[in-house]
Amino acid sequence: MTRLKDKTAVITGGATGIGLAAAKRFVAEGAFVIIFGRRQEALDAALAKLGPNARAVQGSVSDEADLDRLYAAVKAERGALDIVFANAGTGSQLALGRITAEHIDDTFDTNVKGTIFTVQKALPLMGPGGSIILTGSSAGTTGAPAFSAYGASKAAVRNLARIWAEDLKGSGIRVNVLTPGAVATELAKAALGSEGLAVYGAMTALQRMGDPAEVGAVAAFLASSDSSFMTGSEVAVDGGLAQL
């Protein structure tokens, strides 16, 4: 597996869950990966698993100064950038009638503003053949109860890819959305417990939760030249959750 040989990738939210699974797959396929996340302890633990072809930068996608430090580090060590996986996201449930301005700001600052500036600030380091991957969600397609802010933010991410595919015409840079559904990340396990995981898994056509590694494999596909004629597209990795 050398589809990403000599490529340089940035993965936000890369210390755990889908981001870490993608980082492992990218490294296995020959890439040098820089993971970005808020918690230094989690970043250090991830680096221990990723090995010598990975680095970490601590910060938040909602802070432009942190993103500037990220890309300054990428430029200093690697000179250029081939892949951006804008994966960092957040979300919590609040039903209509209980939604607060703070809840909306927290969700959109990370999922929308953070995605926009993660990509925009990366562009000066990217060139033809570059791949941008945005993490969507099945909640951006379906009417998930009590997920107004989260679902709306992920629907916005889907539309950003369409717009950016137009904006990037002629650059040779592609942008696509990777849309997971029910995935058994560390966060999901802690939040749902074994009973909750079983309930959510049963909602999919495949009758189970997804493994983060399964999503990471599709991220590697979108990062590689195997998807060279794809841009503005969405790839659902959701066990059929939002498709049926």
DSSP annotation of 228 reads: T
- CA-wise closest residue to 58 among 81, 74, 35: 35
Among this protein's residues, is 154 annotated catalytic? Answer: yes
Position 181, amino acid: G
Which residue do the tokens 């991957």 mark?
A: 133
- CA-wise closest residue to 8 among 111, 127, 171: 127
Which residue do the tokens 């802010």 mark?
A: 149
Residues facing 182 on adjacent strands: none
Among this protein's residues, is 150 annotated catalytic? Answer: yes
The separation between the first and the last C-alpha atoms of the chain, rounded to the nearest angstrom, is 33
- CA-wise closest residue to 221 among 169, 168, 176: 176
Give the active site residue among 7, 71, 154, 200.
154
Give the active site residue among 24, 71, 150, 200.
150
User: Strand order in 174-180's β-sheet?
Assistant: 54-58, 32-37, 8-12, 83-86, 131-135, 174-180, 234-237
Catalytic residues: 150, 154
